[in-house]
Homo-oligomer: A and B are copies of this chain.
Amino acid sequence: MNELVFVGLGLNDEKGITIKGLEETKTADQVFMENYTSRMPNFSLKRFESFCGKKIQIVDRQTLEEENGKLILKAAKEGKTVFLVPGDPFIATTHVALRIDAEKQGIKTRLVHGISIISAIVSMSGLHNYKFGKTVTVPFPENFSKTPYNVVAQNKSIGLHTLCLLDLKAYKKEYLSINQALKMLLEIEARNKRNIITPENIAVGIARAGNNNPTLKADYISDLLNFDFGQPPYSLIIPGELHFMEVEALIAFADAPRTFKRLSK
């Protein structure tokens, strides 16, 4: 059957895919995968190919963006085509255009979800999902932006937590560190003096979400600046108001100092 199935690979390694996603891959005529929007640090293409018994064609940014995914659309006109994407296929918006193009060309498309960083981080932290506001990405210093600070400020003004995704250059294996992200936020604070993100405020740093040994550390920002999170990838939560159960969770799961008990409302 001619169709294009977008399949999420989830997080961390080749075992992050769902049974359903693996079955779809096994029954495909052609399988493509991109590895430039995100990185799965422990993903082995070789192991994954032996899992699914298929040869996988890696597509780079140029093939997808400059050639508008022609290669993939052509395959989808010829038979069942699976396009593997780290995380969940459309949480990053990069591939939405490809799906729109496929539908416009009369190609049937389907979506098999993968674990996304945006739900994994919330779940790991033990913080309450309905208390998160808008999500933001903190860029590398060379792309300095006040947006992350402003989003945190907006969320905090209504008591909400902010999930900060930290930028990465997948092809170079370069990751913005939690230290760099915090420093950028503190620098903006120093100029604006709005008392939104100070060294005395708290934050939660997360390394290696989806891995068997993630690092989760909640602390005052002044102390987090010196904390060694180990290997990437990294994320950051700037909490708003904390419920006492959320404080309990941060103490139990994120090794928060017991003085956090003073923070809950």
Q: List the interface of chain A (C-beta within 8 A of B).
A: 8, 10-11, 13-20, 22-23, 51, 88-93, 96-97, 99-100, 103-104, 110-111, 113-116, 118-120, 122-124, 126, 128-137, 154, 158, 160, 210, 212, 245, 248-249, 252-253
Contacts and interface: CB of A to CB of B under 8 A. Distances in A.
A126 to B, nearest CB: 5
A152 to B, nearest CB: 13
A19 B17 contact: yes
A132 B89 CA distance: 17
A249 B96 contact: yes
A126 B90 contact: yes
Q: Assembly of this chain: how many copies?
A: 2
Contacts of A132: 134-135
A158 B14 CA distance: 39
The 6 nearest A-B residue pairs measured at CB: A116-B119, A15-B20, A15-B19, A90-B123, A119-B119, A103-B252
B113 A118 contact: no
B123 A116 contact: yes
Nearest to A158: B154
Contact of A23 (B15, B124, B135): B15
A161 B110 CA distance: 24
Contact of A19 (B22, B93, B120, B123): B22
B119 A91 contact: yes
A131 B136 CA distance: 9
A236 to B, nearest CB: 15
A248 B119 CA distance: 25
Contacts of A97: 245
B123 A113 contact: yes
A122 B183 CA distance: 31
Contact of A124 (B51, B104, B111, B114): B111
